[in-house]
Structure 1
Amino acid sequence: MTFYPTDRLALFIDGANLYSAAKSLGFDIDYRKLLEEFRKRGILVRAYYYTALVEDQEYSPIRPLVDWLDYNGYRLVTKPAREYVDSQGRKRWRGDMDVEIAVDMMEMAETADHLVLFSGDGDFRVLVEAVQRKGCRVTVVSTVKSTPPMASDDLRRQADNFVDLADLSEIIGRPSRLPRFIQESRTSERDRHHDDEADADA
């Protein structure tokens, strides 16, 4: 990763997307280590974490992670998850945070030098281009080493730097708590990450 000590950094973590990418590579994110690593690489101004939450549940598996992040240096951005029924008739939840990420990145582009986007979603290509026009450098963190790849080729090309999450596993990761055969059976983690994202809490 190319960072300068005087860089004013801002991190933008698409919680569902990063969770899915890490699980596909067989490890969990240690969010304390992640924050420590980027504090070493510049002047960390803000670290945003975005996720949708299921409301009116007696217990939410993601709540311990969200509470920990909120007290340990992250700026939480949340909204209610929307319920839907999948093709097999099962209740699922989803919550797209793209607009929230876009608004915050555009605002931070006014004061930060280097924006780090933890997502491989190709929809962010235009956003990355827009903040680059404001003078910011953008690093995208995702992976092309999973099956299928999690990072859009268009997004990778637009970014100033692309860092494969697999290359950070020794720095910000820890072994996954899920057996490999269970990981491989989860083909749609992004839609259902709320069922078990708490496994990634610090």
Structure 2
Amino acid sequence: MKTALFIDGSYMYDAAKRLGWNIDHRKAIGVFSKPEDLYNAFYYAPVTDSNDERQQKFLDALVFMGYTVRSRETHGDPRFEAMIATDLLVTAPRWERAVVASGSGDLAHTLAALRAQGKEIHLLGVPELTDLELRNQSDRYLDLRELQAQLERTGGGRRSYPSVADDGFTSEEQSSLTRRLMDNLEDELR
């Protein structure tokens, strides 16, 4: 069955903070599809500083792993829902199953439309970070906690995450967190 992956990088970062373990993006492609059945793997990545070499190296590494990277410069809350919805709808004739890593309810209508076309939608995430209507519009919910053995990054140590108890980050703090994520990911990819 032809499969496509649509991964919101900001959502996966928040999920990793919540879980306390690192997600290996290289493993993720193989966990959800055999190479011969993969249509494409899209990764939506916020760029907080277009001149930051480390961020560019991370994006390049994602491409090397097999992702089609969609990135744009963001300040504050990175919103990729329109881009994800567009890619889901435009590429739908080329795949039968989509694995979507996002928690945004703004994608619920898109998922409903795809299911009406006979597409199978698997939603990947953490329940407390996922909109209930989005879950309702998926065929299957894949809880990241249950996939730790297959997706956890090993061999590079653990990244330390700030406490998720304080959800009131300023845009400056969010930019700082994103920069730290990119720094840590670059270190892991070395």
Is 1:98 matched with 2:81? yes
Equivalences, count: 180
The 2-side partners of 1:16 and 1:56 are apart by: 17
Is 1:177 matched with 2:158? yes
Where relative contact order (Cα < 8 A, 6+ residues apart) is larger, the structure is 1
Higher helix share: 2
Equivalent residue, structure 2, for 1:141 = 124
Contact 2:4–2:99 (CA<8 Å) still a contact in 1? yes
Equivalent residue, structure 2, for 1:165 = 144
Give the drift of 1:72. 1.9
Give me the TM-score of the superposition, normalised by structure 1: 0.79
Structure 1: stretches of 5+ with no match in the other structure: 1-6, 84-92
Higher strand share: 1
Aligned to 2:106, which of 115, 123, 128?
Answer: 123
Aligned to 2:56, which of 50, 63, 70?
Answer: 63
Contact 1:61–1:197 (CA<8 Å) still a contact in 2? no
> Which deviates more from structure 2 when the two are superposed, residues 100-109 or residues 188-197?
188-197
The 2-side partners of 1:41 and 1:72 are apart by: 12
Alignment CA distance shift 1:66-1:120 (3 Å): same
Alignment CA distance shift 1:15-1:179 (3 Å): closer
Equivalent residue, structure 1, for 2:167 = 187
The 1-side partners of 2:36 and 2:136 are apart by: 24
Give the drift of 1:61. 4.6
Structure 2: stretches of 5+ with no match in the other structure: none
Give the drift of 1:188. 5.5
**3-state SS of 1:52 partner:** strand
Equivalent residue, structure 2, for 1:11 = 5
What is the alpha-carbon root mean square deviation over aligned residues?
2.4
Contact 2:48–2:179 (CA<8 Å) still a contact in 1? no
Give the drift of 1:41. 8.6
4+ runs deviating over 6 angstroms: none
Task: Determine what percentage of the aligned residue pairs are the same residue.
Answer: 26
Give the drift of 1:136. 0.5
